[in-house]
Amino acid sequence: MTPELSKACLFFFLLSGFFIRLIGQLHFRSSSVLGDEPSPIDDLMIGCAALGLFVMPSLLAVTDWPKRWSFGFSSELAWAGCAIFSLALWLFWRSHEDLDKFPFHRRGVYKRIRHPMYAALFLWAVAQFALAQNWIAGLSGFLTMYWFYQLRVDREEDRMLRLYGSEYRFYMRTTGRLLPIRSATTTALPKPSFRRTANL
């Protein structure tokens, strides 16, 4: 693979991810995992994540900026980036496709992972670095995604625990946050009622 083809692949994957997210948001725009309207802080975090995961690598792919921060090109690393990005987009798509009307899920990828969308974006960030092979455009995705994840995931899960109590706690025990786990109790999950718990 050449550097030019690597950047073309990067831009193709970025656009594919953008359209997966766009279609997912259009389909589920009337629902929210947290059940709240995004706050200004949420909007800021989403904007920063988009800057690192989409804007910066797109600038490199289209304008070759910031070229001065590129390091020695590796064809093998670029091919690995294509494979990882393909996996990331599959998981990103499934995390939207397997969503349902409930605030937490027990089907598809959600049977094993509580936050497959975050997992997909971390894979996206790794693939972005492998394809960009640039310290700025490559690392921007991982750094902004790590910050975004650290600020949001605990807050999201705390809210779900306040709303759904023991049901969500049981769901947490039988799933991994980012990596799939297999629990002995997974096959015996009770049918969720999704009744809200006022206070814990």
User: What is the CATH classification number for the domain harbouring 16?
Assistant: 1.20.120.1630
The model's confidence at residue 187, banded by pLDDT at 50, 70 and 90, is very low
- Euclidean distance between CA atoms 185 and 88, whole angstroms: 28
Q: What is the mean pLDDT of residues 68-72?
A: 91
Q: What is the mean pLDDT of residues 160-185?
A: 84
Q: Is 106 inside any structural domain?
A: no
Q: What is the mean pLDDT of residues 83-96?
A: 96
Q: Which domain holds residue 75?
A: 3-100+116-165
Q: Is 180 inside any structural domain?
A: no
Q: CA torsion sign, 84 to 85 to 86 to 89? A: positive
SS3 176: strand
Displacement of CA 153 from its chain's centroid (Å)? 11
Count of domains for the chain: 1
Q: Is 78 exposed, middle or buried (0-12, 13-18, 19+ CB in 10 A)?
A: buried
Judge whether residue 36 has pLDDT over 80: no
Q: Is 111 inside any structural domain?
A: no
Q: Is 82 inside any structural domain?
A: yes
The model's confidence at residue 164, banded by pLDDT at 50, 70 and 90, is confident
The more confident residue out of 21 and 107 is: 21
Q: Is 109 inside any structural domain?
A: no
**Nearest one of 117, 124, 113 to 95, comparing CA atoms:** 117
Q: Is 105 inside any structural domain?
A: no
Displacement of CA 44 from its chain's centroid (Å)? 17
**What is the phi/psi pair of residue 70, to 5°?**
-75, 150
- Euclidean distance between CA atoms 39 and 136, whole angstroms: 29
Q: Is 173 inside any structural domain?
A: no
CB atoms within 10 A of CB 74: 15
In the Cβ-directed half-sphere of 68, how many Cα atoms lie within 13 Å?
0
- Euclidean distance between CA atoms 92 and 76, whole angstroms: 24
Q: Is 177 inside any structural domain?
A: no
Judge whether residue 37 has pLDDT over 70: no
Q: Where are the alpha helices (DSSP H) in the chain?
A: 3-27, 40-50, 56-63, 75-97, 116-132, 135-173
